[in-house]
Amino acid sequence: MAQSSGPVHAVAPSAAPAAAGFPAPPPRPAPPPASARLVPTSHEPKPAPAHKAHYFHYGTRSVKARIDPEVPLDEVLRQLCASSQLQVAEPATLFALRDKDSGALVTQDNMRAMLEKATTCVPFNSGLMSSSGTNLGKCRRFTLVSSPMLEAVEMVDKLSSGEPSVLKLATFSLRSLIKERAFLAEFIARGGVDALQEVIRRSSGNTLAYALLSLQNLLELEESGWVGLERSFVARIVDIIATEPLINISRPATAILRRLASQPLAASSASTSTSPRPTSASASGFLAVFEAVLAQPNFLPIVIERLSGGDVPVTNLSLGLINSLLRGSNELGDLRLVDELENLDAWKTVGKLLDGSKGADLSTILTLQSNLVASLHLALTTPIDEEHYPYFDQLWIASRLTDTDESNRWRRLGFRTESPQYEFGQAGLLGLKALKRYAEDSQNEFAQTLADQASRPEARRCPVSTISNVVLCLLADHFGLTSGLPSTPATPSPYLFRFYELHALVVTFFLRMWTESGASAHEPGDLERVSALARSQIAFVLGGGGDKTWFAVRREFLSGEYRQVRERQVREMEIEDDLLSKAPVRNLRGRLYLESYEFVRSQRISCLHEGAWFQASQPTSSGGSTGRKGAQSRGAQISTWRFYRLAANRKALHWVEASEKREIRSGLDDLPEKIDLNSITDVIASGVHTLQRPRVSQVAGLNRVPSSASGATAAAAHHSRLSFLSKDSALPGFRSATPPSSSPQSLTFTLVTSDGPLVELTAPSSATYSEWVDGLSLLRPEEGSISTRDTADYIQALTDVGVKVKLLDLSGERVEILPALEVNQVPASTNFFYSDSL
């Protein structure tokens, strides 16, 4: 290998107009002027450090050079190509630099780090010395290669080749090349995604594995890499997952499909599809994946099987894929995917992964649990329609009853009427599916139970189908299925993944309690009484945070005795009624209410100090000063954005007006205008959620009430307006603070002065509305009041939690709470002493 006779230097930009010249050495610094000679030696400028020398290779030729990191990369490439030692004939724009050992591409961003990095522990054999006489250490080696643009063109050509060997080598190289941003941009721009699709369509074995891994890397690095992927290609990925047994093929294919399910697809592709409920998910890549998954019957069974295969990466990828599919199907309101997963007992398999030894990602399971709750909520709120009538036919078949009397057909199954489709108002489609699962499971002996009930007197028969809906509603309340889309839980709920099995257990328990308690179908209160027993048992068995095994849960539902359950329920009722009605507990609640009130008051005022943007409208009847230089003319309706912030001394609201929202610095420097709070007489709030609440002066008076007084009694007074100074400052033409319930919710409130309305502000959210309306009122405790339900509920929730915590502390210490303290009479003389036992 030919080498130059000596090192070549790259000149710093300040030394040569060309920014880099290899033949010329670095110029010496100019001598300082005469005045500089008076400066002490320690302050004289030091010479610039010499740059390390490195080898640059091109074919069989090489050159040794020092490169200044400040020189642009394209200039370095130009001078390397112009070097007589390398003898490069092509233009420099066709070349790039790579590290010869690692193959890493040199870019403008990493050039300095790659040039300065050297293994100083190994001496340089040629004895190359720096200007200070120290050894420079071992140099790095770089090589001139084709630019990313040429590499992308060549790669696309190779991917179009029909020779298997060329194709295999190309896909093998593409795995690492596609991780480089420069190559990736050129590859996509030259149709590389289409070429890669064709390779995946027609290849197999290692070539297919390399191509799938390349596409996986592309989708992870490029957010718009999905553009151009066709629906037929998505179906091909689904088929690969369902049919390919090799893990190096199925793993990247699963990762690709998971990525596509959470990325938007081309609008042209999404527009050709129809969904049962057009939502935002209709324009996403999920729709293409969803249709392909439902069209491949072997897909979901394979994915569920791989959950328990023992390969942790594959398990987590499969969990993530099911999670994406479930989330998208919930958004579409389509329950077909959920039905397939339930038929495959997918949730039981997921529940088994909660064992820490399985190695599954807990965060993914928690997200999946949240989406499961959302799907159950969707089924719970889906009314029974004609498309669901086949469920009733399957229910009748499972009953094994003979159709001798059509006028009494469905009541024999335990319904109240002969129109069972109307009895699922609260349970919805989820109740019908749960009843069907209960009836078809041979362990539940549905047909035998119906036969036993038919042999009893009519008054003693238990309405099996009716109590199935009752149990479903009890479980829905316990798991929070009625509250809509939940947030990701902090801890897993293993029983939720066995929801239908749990429903069957509670129905069996309910049937037994009905029989043992002697309940009658003709007594309307008996159903509610047994429902209370079932609710108590559900809370007792499932309320331990999921630490019980499924075997223990089954045992407690199947073997729980009526007498024990009833006694526990009575104790719970006594504790709930008697304890909360005792005077010490009422006093505790009053004190905690005050603490919660002060906490929320401080929080609301802190929100005023932080500030917020509002849509501001100048009232048409505005009068007086607005606090702004050059007041607007009367009668002009103005709507703009304003940012308000409360001053630290709580005496003024500072604000600024803008055509659009922008970043506002802390402090008041960006807020030139201000409103004196003493000038504001009213804050008139308009919104259906505006609430009449106790005045602050009255609530604060609880601090002066003796401890034996009830906090609720002292806070009973209510204030009808949200007023600072005036109680009778209502102005004509203003909306009422409590509009009719039929009016839409409003987030608007008006600041009013003695001269009239000042400004009308519309909050961006109900949270901001509550914070500012109540915050402005609570600035003056002697006059302010709570006027929004959000704030009132917040205070009440904090109070309830505080009371429960205090009572738990007392119950844990086994301290008896007396209804009242007995105070003995004062001794008539001093002839007494204190007992040591007290």
Residues 53, 134: one domain? Answer: yes
pLDDT at 501: 93
Q: Which of 668, 660, 637 is nearest to 759 (CA)?
A: 637
Residues, the chain: 838
Pair 626, 773: CB distance under 8 Å? no
Q: Which of 640, 644, 646 is nearest to 616 (CA)?
A: 640
- DSSP alpha helix (H) spans, 83-230: 111-116, 148-159, 164-177, 181-189, 192-202, 205-221
- Residue 661 contacts by C-beta under 8 Å, 6 or more apart in sequence? 613, 641, 643
pLDDT (average), residues 705-721: 32
Which structure tokens are listed for 198? Answer: 């064709």
Q: Is 641 helix (H, G, I), strand (E, B) or coil?
A: strand
Pair 167, 206: CB distance under 8 Å? no
Residues 438, 559: one domain? Answer: yes
Q: Within 13 Å of residue 110, how many CA atoms lie on the same side as its CB?
A: 12
Tell me, yes or no, whether 819 lies in a domain: no
Tell me, yes or no, whether 760 lies in a domain: yes
Residue 719 has pLDDT above 90, yes or no: no
pLDDT at 428: 93
Residues 162, 226: one domain? Answer: yes
Residues 214, 97: one domain? Answer: no
Which structure tokens are listed for 498? Answer: 């066995």
482: how many CB neighbours lie within 10 A of its CB? 12
Residue 384 has pLDDT above 50, yes or no: yes
Residue 671 has pLDDT above 80, yes or no: yes
Pair 107, 73: CB distance under 8 Å? yes
Residues 528, 668: one domain? Answer: no
Residue 57 belongs to domain with CATH number: 3.10.20.90
Tell me, yes or no, whether 223 lies in a domain: yes
Q: Is 653 helix (H, G, I), strand (E, B) or coil?
A: strand
pLDDT band at 75 (very low <50, low <70, confident <90, very high): confident
Identify the weakest region by mean pLDDT among 50-59, 632-641, 651-660, 736-745.
Answer: 736-745
Q: Which of 557, 580, 603 is the last residue of a domain?
A: 580
Q: Within 13 Å of residue 618, how many CA atoms lie on the same side as its CB?
A: 18
Residues 612, 533: one domain? Answer: no
Residues 267, 166: one domain? Answer: yes
- Residue 125 contacts by C-beta under 8 Å, 6 or more apart in sequence? none
Give how many domains the chain has, as a whole number.
Answer: 4
- Residue 758 contacts by C-beta under 8 Å, 6 or more apart in sequence? 619, 622, 624, 626, 675, 680, 750, 751, 752
Tell me, yes or no, whether 394 lies in a domain: yes
Which structure tokens are listed for 767? Answer: 């949270």
Which structure tokens are listed for 748? Answer: 């608007």
Identify the weakest region by mean pLDDT among 162-176, 266-280, 508-522.
Answer: 266-280
The alpha carbon torsion through 362, 368, 374, 380 (nearest 10 deg) reads -100
Q: 499-516 and 464-479 are packed helices; what angle lies between their axes, rounded to 10 degrees?
A: 130
Residues 541, 604: one domain? Answer: no
335 is in which domain, residue-wise? 149-380
User: Radius of gyration over alpha carbons of the chain, in Å?
Assistant: 39
Q: Tell me 13's DSSP state.
A: T
Query: pLDDT tens across 414-461, in order?
Result: 898 999 999 999 999 999 999 999 999 988 889 999 998 888 888 888
Residue 822 has pLDDT above 70, yes or no: no
pLDDT band at 25 (very low <50, low <70, confident <90, very high): very low
The DSSP element (H or E) to which 80 belongs, if any, is: helix 73-82
Q: How far apart are CA 832 and CA 355, in angstroms?
A: 66
Which structure tokens are listed for 545? Answer: 């945070």
Q: Which of 99, 129, 146 is the last residue of a domain?
A: 146
Residue 477 has pLDDT above 80, yes or no: yes
Are β-strands 53-58 and 61-66 bridged in parallel, bridged antiparallel, or unpaired?
antiparallel
What rounded mean pLDDT belongs to the chain?
Answer: 76
pLDDT band at 409 (very low <50, low <70, confident <90, very high): confident
Residues 401, 364: one domain? Answer: no
Residue 330 belongs to domain with CATH number: 1.25.10.10
Q: How far apart are CA 712 and CA 705, in angstroms?
A: 11
Residues 604, 570: one domain? Answer: no
Q: Which amino acid is at 284?
A: S
Query: pLDDT tens across 766-798, in order?
Result: 889 999 988 888 887 565 678 788 888 889 889
Tell me, yes or no, whether 674 lies in a domain: yes
Q: Which amino acid is at 525?
A: G
Q: Which of 470, 715, 488 is nearest to 590 (CA)?
A: 715
pLDDT at 486: 66
Q: How far apart are CA 716 and CA 698, in angstroms?
A: 9
pLDDT band at 635 (very low <50, low <70, confident <90, very high): very low
Q: Which amino acid is at 198?
A: E
pLDDT at 623: 40
What pTM, to 2 d.p., does this model score? 0.61
Residues 321, 332: one domain? Answer: yes
Pair 468, 507: CB distance under 8 Å? yes
- Residue 780 contacts by C-beta under 8 Å, 6 or more apart in sequence? 696, 724
Pair 258, 324: CB distance under 8 Å? yes
Q: Which of 542, 564, 580 is the last residue of a domain?
A: 580
Pair 776, 768: CB distance under 8 Å? no
Q: Tell me 703's DSSP state.
A: G
pLDDT (average), residues 56-77: 82
507-527 burial code (b ≥16 CB/10 A, e <16): bbbbbbbbbebebbbeeeebb
Residues 125, 273: one domain? Answer: no
Q: Is 279 helix (H, G, I), strand (E, B) or coil?
A: coil
- DSSP alpha helix (H) spans, 410-543: 428-440, 446-454, 464-479, 499-516, 524-542
Pair 264, 284: CB distance under 8 Å? yes
Query: pLDDT tens across 592-619, in order?
Result: 999 999 999 999 999 999 999 998 887 6
Residue 683 belongs to domain with CATH number: 2.30.29.30
Instruction: Tell which wins on pLDDT, 503 or 356.
Output: 503
Would you call 291 exposed, middle or buried from its count of C-beta atoms within 10 A (0-12, 13-18, 19+)? middle
Q: Is 680 helix (H, G, I), strand (E, B) or coil?
A: strand
Tell me, yes or no, whether 190 lies in a domain: yes
Identify the weakest region by mean pLDDT among 40-49, 363-372, 564-573.
Answer: 40-49
pLDDT band at 105 (very low <50, low <70, confident <90, very high): confident
Query: pLDDT tens across 318-360, in order?
Result: 999 999 999 888 888 889 999 999 999 899 889 888 876 667 8
357: how many CB neighbours lie within 10 A of its CB? 6
DSSP string, 428-451: HHHHHHHHHHHHH-GGG-HHHHHH
Tell me, yes or no, whether 809 lies in a domain: no
pLDDT at 736: 35
- Residue % of the chain over a pLDDT of 70: 73
Q: How far apart are CA 807 and CA 585, in angstroms?
A: 9
Which structure tokens are listed for 432? Answer: 């019908």
pLDDT at 630: 40
pLDDT band at 169 (very low <50, low <70, confident <90, very high): very high
E-strand stretches of 515-623: 612-618
Report the alpha-carbon angle 608-601-665, nearest 5.
20
Tell me, yes or no, whether 573 lies in a domain: yes
The 3-class secondary structure across 788-819, one letter per residue, is EHHHHHHHHHHHHHHHHHHHHHHHHCCCCCCC
